[in-house]
Chains A and B, each alone.
Chain A
């Protein structure tokens, strides 16, 4: 699992860590029963306050995403599939960021959606034909 946080990002650091864990689950780099780095390791790697990591882990545990096995460490919950909930949470996060950017530039929601589609279609038409073909295949 690769965790990145940005202290200059205004989102609280513990939320950033939670999002990174969720992202790893959705992408599949983190799977059920995988061990997570210890609080100490992650704090050292990210150079963040260990309390921040603890807070993120506590919240994730409360949400049932991870669990603590006493004396052995923290693990991904067996039923923490990269399921709908995680995907949904991640998608909403991405959408929020895009919306924020759009509003800053004076764009409306419909405009944003329209142009995301347009740009995506262009990109699919260009280099990676296989990806475009695959997605067409799905629809049939």
Chain B
């Protein structure tokens, strides 16, 4: 499977595609041969624990870092060869809350940002600034974490870029502003054709906006699927098992949770329902109930349970 030389056809319809993207920090692999496919127009949520490689992925797409191996393309442009061209297409909210230019006043910073983007929409920037309650006179350096975040969001959205890279966009925002931010994002999507790649470890926040999910685990993309596929292939199985029953090997999912009586087990398992049910039946478990899951619960099926293993 030599991907790089023969890109698969669906790459053409991708806003973002990476090919074996790899990044190491002092010998430690932060990102390991990642093949990301973000379809145009998708709201793609990148899920993973802290340190799983989410921020690294976004920084590589911005060409703020160089990959150690592999390539990345944004709307067909190579991120390394055409960094400025790529960045012009992107609205980026970084992991950190530093909006830069600490001595500038917010209003001045926005005018400064406007100069960089031909498509900057001053009326929209004003609208967003007001909606977020940003005061143009405040100096950037005196902003709270939440205020700095809001400023970053205005800067990312106001030029209506075709791609938004949002790294934990609601981090530091209080619950009311968080909801308001996501509502503004929903309006933005209704007004402007946009692809969104959003990283978060709080999946529930963007759960209702997302239509694609990628799961990063220790630098590897362990799952990548549409919301519909996720709904179809990740389900919770309630099964009745004999006393002392052993789980069949090869069933993938989060660990079995036995109820008090020891005869009822609940599993989140990955696979087509019919196939999973058959395998459980063959192993001597009687399937009592199968339920599809919400997006967050389904995505978590690809991550190991917390705590020592």
Residues of chain A whose beta carbon lies under 8 Å from any beta carbon of chain B = 5, 7-10, 12-13, 39-40, 43-52, 103-104
Complex Cα spacing A98 to B154, Å: 46
From B186, B228, B292, contact of A47 by CB (8 A) = B186
Report the 10 A-B pairs with minimum CB-CB distance, sorted nearest first: A40-B190, A50-B190, A10-B292, A7-B208, A8-B294, A7-B207, A43-B186, A48-B208, A44-B183, A44-B187
A13→B190 contact, CB < 8 A: no
* Given A10-B291, A12-B231, A104-B289, A49 contacting B186 (CB threshold 8 A): yes
Interface centre among B191, B207, B297 (most CB of A within 10 A): B207
Complex Cα spacing A45 to B179, Å: 10
In the complex, the chain B residue whose C-beta lies closest to that of A47 is B182
Q: Is B287 an interface residue (CB 8 A)?
A: no
Q: Is B62 an interface residue (CB 8 A)?
A: no
**How many residues on B have C-beta within 8 angstroms of the other chain's C-beta atoms?**
28
- A44 neighbours in B (Cβ, 8 Å): 183-184, 186-187, 190
B186→A50 contact, CB < 8 A: yes
Complex Cα spacing A51 to B226, Å: 14
Q: List 11 A-B contacts (CB under 8 A).
A: A10-B291, A10-B293, A12-B228, A43-B190, A47-B186, A48-B209, A49-B43, A49-B210, A103-B289, A104-B238, A104-B289
Interface centre among A43, A44, A47, A104 (most CB of B within 10 A): A47
Complex Cα spacing A49 to B41, Å: 11
* Given A48-B209, A104-B289, A43 contacting B179 (CB threshold 8 A): no
B136 to chain A, nearest CB (A): 25
